[in-house]
Amino acid sequence: MNTYFNEITSKPVNTDGGKIIYRIPAGAMSGNGDLGIVFDNSEKDIIIYISKCDFWKFAPGAHNDGGIKSVGSIRIRNIDLSEYNIRQYFDKGLLECRFGRITAEIFVAPENTVCLEIKVPETDELPPVTVEMPDTCSSENSASETNGMKCLVRKFSGKEVNTETGAALCLRELESKVSDGFRISRFCVSAATNFDSPDYASEAVRLAADCDYDLCKQKTSEKWQKFFSASKVTLEDKEIESFYNSSLYHLAGCMGNKEFPPGLFGNFITDDFFPWAGDYHMNYNYEAPYYCIFSSNHPELFDGYMVPVNDMREEAKRMAGLFGCKGYAFPVSFGPKALDVYSQKDCKEHGILFLGQKSHAAYACVIPLMHWFSTYDKEYALRNYYDFVFNTAAFWEDYLVKERGRYVIKKDAAHEIPFYRGEKFRHITHFGQLNTVNAINSLGLVKLLFKGVYDMAKELGLNEEKYSLWEDINKNLSDFPTFIKKGKKCFRYSEFGIRWRDDNTVGLQHIYPASQIGFSSDEKLLKIARNTYFINDRTLDDNGSNSYLPAGARIGVDPAFLIDGIHRNIKEFALPNRLFRHHGGGIEHLTTVPATVNEMLLQGYEGVIRLFPCWDKNMNAAFENLRADGAFLVSASLENKKVSSLKIRSLRGRKCTVECDGIKSVIREADKKEIPFSKDGSTVSFETAADETYILI
């Protein structure tokens, strides 16, 4: 079975009883990391929506019509849709289509062009192909022709925006011929914005004029072959393996613009009215798509993550000051270039949508800290995120309260407080949340934050004056609150305030993604974690599946339960195009399958590499170049309940510790020489050199 393949055999359904089903589209889609396309149709036309990560309307304010906007669409007219088939080839970046007597292929090339070939029997007429742009949200649109190319421009300007933006589309017919009994036409549609070039209309014309269809197709295939060669997972369960690959494909399809990382809905925008302006939500939504990228050995997908985060630093400093603190604090959301989608005059917290939570900047640090521990790239960290992590820690140094020898977090809600209701907000209804003490998710995030900043500072040789304080916070931050529920000791959502909620997974996010509990934890703590995990079955949680299932792997729950949870999510939420239609956002649940599978196959975040730590040993499995903390690439197979073919590549030359039964020898691959190692039970440790591979036998 080709697990880099998916077939769609029916027209996308985006409505139910005439009402739009949320905004996550069901049609076939593809992207090159910046430019994205989504299939839809009218009664007789194929519509291919085009969006781009950097095309936004920069209209500030929480309830204005700013946000990410559609660039336009390609329309193929007068199509017989009685037969509908689209094949997605993820390892080629290619869509092959059949609509009645028409066949077509389409791909998004690395040069921001959409390439399209249409083929019909020689006796038929080729369908007309046009490009269109919406004119909603007060956009200024214009059209022209240049050297036979149709060129459209859409822009947002004027007093209502704080940054002018524009996008251009150009349609060029590349070739039209009759061959082997078929009429064949090839087209390209190029796209450019003012962030690509100040003269973006001319840039779009240039891209279209330079397009070579066959060369673009070759480059597209090479790009995706290279992407999937970075790592590989092979499972007996081919449905899960296929969703693993398709999820990584869709994530990479919207994570390539290093100045404009994806917001809630990536680059599969089909109109101008996606929820929450398609912004960056900082209390898990923005971060969640990145949960799986490091373990999958795709750290390059992180490259754009810090840009909007760092762009908010001046605002973050101002917001920290509102709470009497130094450092950085974040609102619940913002847009690129520090776009204000958080100001609301009647909001009870300084007119800003913090929603009672102080943890947003700490949550933003989770992903750079994942990058740090999995790469130990000092130069990259110093250039991109040390300042942000350091100043977020500075906020918490001031905000934490030390009482009777322990550090306490006060007035920081575990769940959003609906201050957005303005005058309708009732304080008495939310008294517990308003006065929260030690929200468990914040405790986990802050524990990770101070562990990370301390480790990073020591490796970089910076801020020694802070070490004693950070050590004290790491040692004395409050324990996770607990209570008795259904006769079992469980984690409580806060020490004072909300005790529990049957929906969402906030009460487990200190386990994952904050990485504060795992196989190295005290057995009593692990038991509490497992009790909490099974109080409610949330494998189908609308917001939390992407953290619930990986958290289960971290604490060693029954792997059959996790596999069943993946299948249930696929059955209940997966769309024909391999997106997941959840309520909480668009791309965040693409991480669910790869993050869970990776954690089941390999863990290394506690300084010990564990192989197949939460995997059914009766099921064969293999992986190549999954990434473990400490900057190690690990490959291994599980066959007949035994680990074999174990290779570890050290990227930074750090000491390697591996838990695996039966290791008798460690061989340096380069010269086939055995190297010394220490052994403690089933755990072996050995020194490594950078860029060396070791075979464990």
CATH hierarchy code of domain 5-234: 2.70.98.50
Q: Is 192 helix (H, G, I), strand (E, B) or coil?
A: strand
- For 538, phi and psi rounded to 5 degrees? -110, 25
Q: At what angle do helices 238-252 and 559-573 cross, to 10 degrees?
A: 60
What single-letter DSSP state applies at residue 506? G
Question: Mean pLDDT, 10 residues at a time, over the chain (697 residues)?
Answer: 95 70 84 97 94 96 86 96 96 97 97 98 96 96 95 96 97 96 97 98 98 98 98 98 98 98 95 92 96 98 98 98 98 96 89 96 98 98 98 98 97 92 82 94 98 98 98 98 96 95 89 97 96 81 87 97 95 94 84 98 95 97 98 97 96 97 96 96 97 97
Tokens of 464: 């020694």
Q: Are strands 656-659 and 609-611 parallel, antiparallel or unpaired?
A: parallel
- For 175, phi and psi rounded to 5 degrees? -165, 145
Whether the upstream peptide bond of residue 418 has omega within 30° of 0, thus cis, is no
Dist CA 618 CA 672 (whole Å):
32
Dist CA 582 CA 275 (whole Å):
13
Domain ranges of the chain: 5-234, 279-286+305-480, 621-696
Tokens of 525: 């703590």
Dist CA 547 CA 291 (whole Å):
9
Dist CA 521 CA 530 (whole Å):
12
Identical fold for domains 279-286+305-480 and 621-696, yes or no, is: no
Q: Write down the pLDDT at residue 584.
A: 67
Count of beta carbons in the 10 Å neighbourhood of residue 1: 8
Q: Write down the pLDDT at residue 2.
A: 95
Closest among 399, 395, 405 to 476, alpha carbons compared: 405
Dist CA 141 CA 157 (whole Å):
11
**Virtual CA dihedral for 557, 559, 561, 562, nearest 10 degrees?**
100
Give the containing element (helix H, strand E) for 183.
strand 182-193
The percentage of residues in the chain with a pLDDT greater than 70, rounded to a whole number, is 98
Instruction: Output the pTM of the full model.
Output: 0.96
Give the containing element (helix H, strand E) for 231.
none
**Residue corresponding to tokens 């003012």:** 194
CATH class of 621-696: mainly beta
Q: Write down the pLDDT at residue 267.
A: 96
Dist CA 181 CA 168 (whole Å):
36
Closest among 62, 58, 71 to 164, alpha carbons compared: 58
- For 384, phi and psi rounded to 5 degrees? -110, -35
Count of beta carbons in the 10 Å neighbourhood of residue 223: 17
Q: Write down the pLDDT at residue 345.
A: 87
**Residue corresponding to tokens 């209209």:** 59
Domain 279-286+305-480 matching CATH 1.50.10.10: the answer reads yes
CB environment 451-483: b (16+ within 10 A), e (fewer):
bbbbebbeeeeebeebeeebeebbeebbebbbe
Q: How many residues does the chain have?
A: 697
Q: Write down the pLDDT at residue 374.
A: 98
